[in-house]
Structures are given as C-alpha cells and as structure tokens.
Chains A and B, each alone.
Chain A
Amino acid sequence: MSDIRLNAIFKTFGTTEVLRGIDLDIRAGEFLTLVGPSGCGKSTLLRIIAGLETQTSGDVEIAGTPVNHVRASDRDLAMVFQSYALYPHLTVRQNMATPLVLRDLTFWERAPIVGHALPGRRPKVKSLHAAVDDVAQVLKIEHLMDRKPGQLSGGQRQRVALGRAMVRKPVAFLMDEPLSNLDAALRVHMRSELAELHRSLGVTFIYVTHDQAEALTMSNRMAVMMDGDILQLGAPDEVYDDPKDRRVAEFVGSPKINMLPGRADGHGRVAALGAPLHRHVGLQDQDVTVGIRPEHLQLTTTQADNEGWPFRVTHKENMGADFFLHGTVNGSNHRMVARARPEDVAEVAIGHDVFLRAQSGKAMVFGGDDRRVYFAEGA
C-alpha cells in the first residue's frame, strides 16, 4: 500500500501542450477518478503514471521512490483498458496467468521444453494457477476459464480484464474508461460492482472516465481535468455542491447546470436576466454568470417580488421519479432545465407559461475569469 505522487508533470506532443504542470497526491487505498471531456489529457496522465508514456518534465513517485526511469512492468501497477486488450489467441485462464508467468517464472522456466524440466517450475506454476482460480472465484468467471476472448460477451471480457489486473495484487489499479464499451444497463451495474471491489480489495484505484456520473458514483475523490489542468480536486459531493470553476460546474451534473448571464451592480448585488438574487458578492459593476442546478429551481405559477424568471415550457421529460422541464426564459433565448416532482408538474403542459425561482442560497456566481465568486458572509 503506497502513495502515488505526481510533481509538476508536463507533457507536450510536438507543439501541443497536453499536460500543464499536474501536481497530484494520490492517497494509498483511495478511489481517485480523473474526469474530463475527451482531449483533456486524463488518459495521457494515466499512461504516464503507468509508465507507458514518458512525461516531458516532472516526477512520478510511488511510495516515495521516483519511478521516472522504471519500466511499466516494474512499477507494480495493473491496468484495465477500454478495449479490454485481452490476448485473442489465449484462453481466459492463460490470459489471467500471463502477468504472473512473466513475473514469477525465470526466463528459462518459461522456455517451451527446457522449462518443464526445471525443478523449481512446478510449485511456481501451481501457486500461480491457484492465484488465478482465487480471482476467478471472486469475479464469478470460473465457468469461462477455457474459452477464448472472442467467445465472451462484453461484460465477461470486462471481468476477465479485471481479473488479469487483479491476479498481480498490484500497488494500484489504473483503469482507462473500462466501462465505456458496455451497454447502459451493464455499465450502471458494473459501477457498483467496481466500487464494491475497491472496498474489498482496499487498493488504490485510479480511474479515468469522461462520464461524470461514473466519477460521482464511484470515487472517494475526483479530479476534474480540462485542457491539461486539474481544475478541481475533491470528494464528489464537494465538487458537485461547490464547484470552484464555471467549467467544473458545467461538466459535473446531469442535466447540465443552468447558466444565465448576470451583472453585479455597484453594491455587489447580482441580477440574472432581470431577476435579483438575495445576497451580495464582492464584485462591483461587472458581468458575471449565474449558475443554478436544475434541482434548485422551484416552479411557481405566480411571480412574487420580481423574483424568478418567466418560463415557457417547450418539453417535458418524464424520468419516472421526477420530471425535467425544458424551456426558455421569456423575452430571451436562454434555455433552462428544471427538475420537478411529478405532482408539481401534473398541471403543466408544453406551451404553458410558469415561473422559475432559485432556491435561496443555491445559486452560484462565476466571474469573468470563470472562477467562482462567493457571496459575502452574512449579507
């Protein structure tokens, strides 16, 4: 069990800067997710940790030892790939045994005919097959052991790929979008299974995904990456409730947060599309952006004190437990989405005009530089 530390990792491909000085401390045993849109550098960062890619500058440390010049296989990490990357010509058992065979047997013991004659080989092979069987049992794939990857479904291949990573008992698991080739239902199922696996193994997981839902549901901490930077690192609820950057607020959460243009007046009072907010910010006479998550909007049929926005419903999305109301703010082209309970929208039909109000204390203000601007205390 050991920490993984990244110090000022830079990576450039030709003239494009992919990573711009990443500093990251990954705690032993945590489930850390690197999440961001495609092209943000998250996969490159993972490959640098794995040793499959070399950073342009900066250091990677595992358990306090720099591993910049250590081969990928000697870093004691295991990786699960998006395409699973199973050896197509080997059976499931052979696939899972491969990392152990390569690690535990000497060159001569692996040799085709000579190897079998060596005395030390038999006990080693026996113990590694026992290890493979143990993992197969945990993953419930014992009945697949003699099949080839081509004869497995996507979910089964996924398990085998996990198994191949698990047999090594590595310092950390690196996962590069392992669920994105699965269908939606299986993906949701595997989310909880992976999280459980993490808890029972107690090993560090570093998980790369572009799906913010996976990051929110599984991780202890998530790092939101964009354009080669980590914008925010924190527990999922912290990142969701308290985004430090407009891009983070927009990326995390589904449906997306509503962003309205607003302005802070001379007293720091913010109004968005004509509707004033209750509290003050420390900015004066500046354009700002006001973000309100769909679940923080309240539906009313009358407008009180000029608060809230007149809203025309253009689409009603039934999610079962709740409804999403899509529409535009009257008098502007701004689209908004509000989440409501079914009983609140029973009377609301497409084309109706209603009012949306931000729940008090839930709106977020972002300055012109995309950074979060906090409300003044007690105001």
Chain B
Amino acid sequence: MNNQVHPVREAIKHAVLILGALIVILPFYVMVSYSLKSPHEIESNTGGFFGAQEPMVDEYCVKLGNPRDACVETPVVYNYTQAFKKAPLLRYLLNGILVTASIFIIQVLVALPCAYALSKLKFWGRDFVFGLVMFCLLIPVHAIALPIYIMLAKIGLTNTYASLVIPWTISVFGIFLMRQFFMTVPDDLIDAARMDGMSEFSIIWKVMLPTAVPALLAFAIFSVVAHWNDYFWPRVAITGNRDLYTPPLGLREFKGDADGSIWGPMMATATIIVTPLIAAFLLAQRRFIEGITLSGMK
C-alpha cells in the first residue's frame, strides 16, 4: 500500500470536505444563533453569534396591559420561554416521542418476522414476495398519500394518533434491510436453536433480534429521524386537533400570517426539536460502531 501522503492532494481533499461541512452546518448555525438573539438583532443582522443579550422589552407583554418594567427580559430567555409558552411545545414533544416510538416498535414487530421468513425459510414464491418488497421501495410516499388519507377518513381515523402511526407500520425498507442482515446470519445458528427447542417465533425474538442489534440501530436512525422530522404526513392527517401536533407542526405556531413571523422563539423551538435527535444519533453512532466491530459470529 502506498502510505505516502501528498500534501497538496490532502489539502484539496480537506478543503472540499470543509466546504461541504460548512454548507451543511450553516443553517444550524443560523438556527442556533437566531434562537439566542433579540428580534431587532435578527432583523438588522447584528450582534454576532450570541447577540448582545441586552435586556429587551416584550411588546406583546406590554400590549396585554402589563407595565413596561415587568416585560423586560434577556433575548435568550425570552426566546426559549416563548417557545414553551406560545405553543404547548412539551405536549408536541411528547406527541412526537409517542408517534415515532410507536411507529418504530410496530415496524420492528412487522419487519423482523418478514425478514426472517424472506431470508431463512424456504417456501414457494419466496423470491416473488421479495420482488414485491423491492417493488414497494420504489413507490414514493406522496403518490399514495391521498388514497391513504381518503381511506383513513372513511373509517374516521383522521385527527387521531392512529392516523399518524398506521400508514408507516409496514416499512419495506426495514424488511429489506433486516433481510439483508439476516442473510449473513449462519443457518447453523438457527438450526441449533431449533434443536434446543425454540419455536420459529422464539428464534426471531431471542436469537435473530439480539444478533441484529447493529442493523436495528441503523434502521432506528432512519426511521426515527424520518418520522420525528416529518412535516408532510402530520400536516395531512391532523387537520384540526392541535393536541395531536407533532414538533414540526408546532413550528407553524410561530409563523405569523399578517404580523410577521416570530423568528427568535421559532428558532428556539427548532433547536429544541432537533436536540434530542442529535443527542440520540451521537449515542447510537457509538453503539452502532461498537455493534459492527464486536459482532463476530464466527
């Protein structure tokens, strides 16, 4: 192997990577920065990253008839308290957790047995069924959103948690991913479990599931990120009941239609929404790599 590092080539490589990283990070930078600044600083684009943190007057508070002195706050406190006051953000976060967790758990409950059957059981038409799974990967969500909405509406499920969860319970991507992973699990392990007296379902939950933890984590990242951040489907399925809003829908609360958007609290909300995801990802990433390096089957 050629271990010689050419300095110019390395520099170019790093330059490209740094540029890419900047492009990705910039919106986050703006989000966090805006969540710290006063409205005036945001509009005039001053104050650097943290803003001057000069005490500001909450005009809305004054309009409600409070004395001006009682409405003075530092911008960062104002933004983050408004995020929770103006909209029931805590409720939205709990909704988000409930919905994404339900979706993920049911997806696993469905995908694991399917993947097991598609990879380890021999039955007539197996390849055809797997072909159908692959075919379903090609269908864009938006193409079938309307029919699904109509179906849910007909059985009266719009504006329920069920309407947020049910359409996502069967993840063909999950089935595909787990099937590919199960293909690498040696058949001997399954035969050994059969000899030990496990039923096929016990094999799935007690043998395949623990060995598949790295793959499940990978799938969890995809699934949780997708559904935690999803704006499109909750916007379709939840038409009136604000109690069912997921965090991304909660952001809409700060989009003033006539009197301009309230950027500070809005960005504070956005920061609060993405923080658990980033934390979870960093944690999972470590486990994820551990899982891959430790999973010596042989």
Q: CB-defined interface of B208-236 with A at 8 Å, one 1/0 digit per residue?
A: 00110100000000000000000000000
For B295, the closest partner residue in chain A by CB is: A88
Q: CB-defined interface of A62-94 with B at 8 Å, one 1/0 digit per residue?
A: 000000000111100111011111111100000
- Distance, CA A71 to CA B211, complexed state (A): 25
Minimum CB–CB distance for A201 against chain B, Å: 18
Q: Is the CB of B192 within 8 A of A79?
A: yes
Q: Is the CB of B195 within 8 A of A77?
A: yes
Choice from A85, A98, A99, A102 contacting B191 with Cβ under 8 Å: A85
Minimum CB–CB distance for A99 against chain B, Å: 4
Choice from A73, A81, A86, A150 contacting B197 with Cβ under 8 Å: A73
B297 proximal to A (CB < 8 A): yes
Q: Is the CB of A102 within 8 A of B198?
A: yes
Q: Number of residues in A with C-beta < 8 Å to the partner? A: 26
Q: Is the CB of B188 within 8 A of A102?
A: no
Q: Is the CB of B297 within 8 A of A88?
A: yes
Q: Is the CB of B296 within 8 A of A85?
A: no
- Distance, CA A265 to CA B117, complexed state (A): 63
For A100, the closest partner residue in chain B by CB is: B196
| Residues on the B chain within 8 Å of A47, using CB | 191
| Residues on the B chain within 8 Å of A78, using CB | 195
Minimum CB–CB distance for B10 against chain A, Å: 36
- Distance, CA A52 to CA B194, complexed state (A): 8
Sample of 4 further A-B pairs with CB below 8 A, known A73-B198, A86-B192:
A71-B194, A72-B191, A84-B188, A102-B197
Q: A85-B188, A85-B191 are in contact. Are A99 and B295 (CB under 8 A)?
A: no
For A99, the closest partner residue in chain B by CB is: B196
Minimum CB–CB distance for A261 against chain B, Å: 43
Q: Is the CB of B211 within 8 A of A99?
A: no
A362 proximal to B (CB < 8 A): no
Q: A99-B197, A102-B197 are in contact. Are A88 and B211 (CB under 8 A)?
A: yes
Choice from B191, B294, B296, B297 contacting A79 with Cβ under 8 Å: B191
- Distance, CA A152 to CA B280, complexed state (A): 32
Q: CB-defined interface of A222-236 with B at 8 Å, one 1/0 digit per residue?
A: 000000000000000
- Distance, CA A102 to CA B202, complexed state (A): 10
For A73, the closest partner residue in chain B by CB is: B197
| Residues on the A chain within 8 Å of B296, using CB | 88, 150
For A47, the closest partner residue in chain B by CB is: B191
Q: A89-B211, A150-B294, A150-B296 are in contact. Are A81 and B188 (CB under 8 A)?
A: yes
A249 proximal to B (CB < 8 A): no
B90 proximal to A (CB < 8 A): no
| Residues on the A chain within 8 Å of B262, using CB | none
Q: CB-defined interface of B29-50 with A at 8 Å, one 1/0 digit per residue?
A: 0000000000000000000000
For A87, the closest partner residue in chain B by CB is: B207
A334 proximal to B (CB < 8 A): no
B278 proximal to A (CB < 8 A): no
B9 proximal to A (CB < 8 A): no
A9 proximal to B (CB < 8 A): no
- Distance, CA A147 to CA B213, complexed state (A): 19
B189 proximal to A (CB < 8 A): yes
A140 proximal to B (CB < 8 A): no
Choice from A73, A82, A181 contacting B194 with Cβ under 8 Å: A73
Choice from A71, A87, A181 contacting B189 with Cβ under 8 Å: A87
- Distance, CA A225 to CA B188, complexed state (A): 22
| Residues on the A chain within 8 Å of B202, using CB | 102
- Distance, CA A79 to CA B193, complexed state (A): 10
- Distance, CA A78 to CA B191, complexed state (A): 11
B276 proximal to A (CB < 8 A): no
B13 proximal to A (CB < 8 A): no
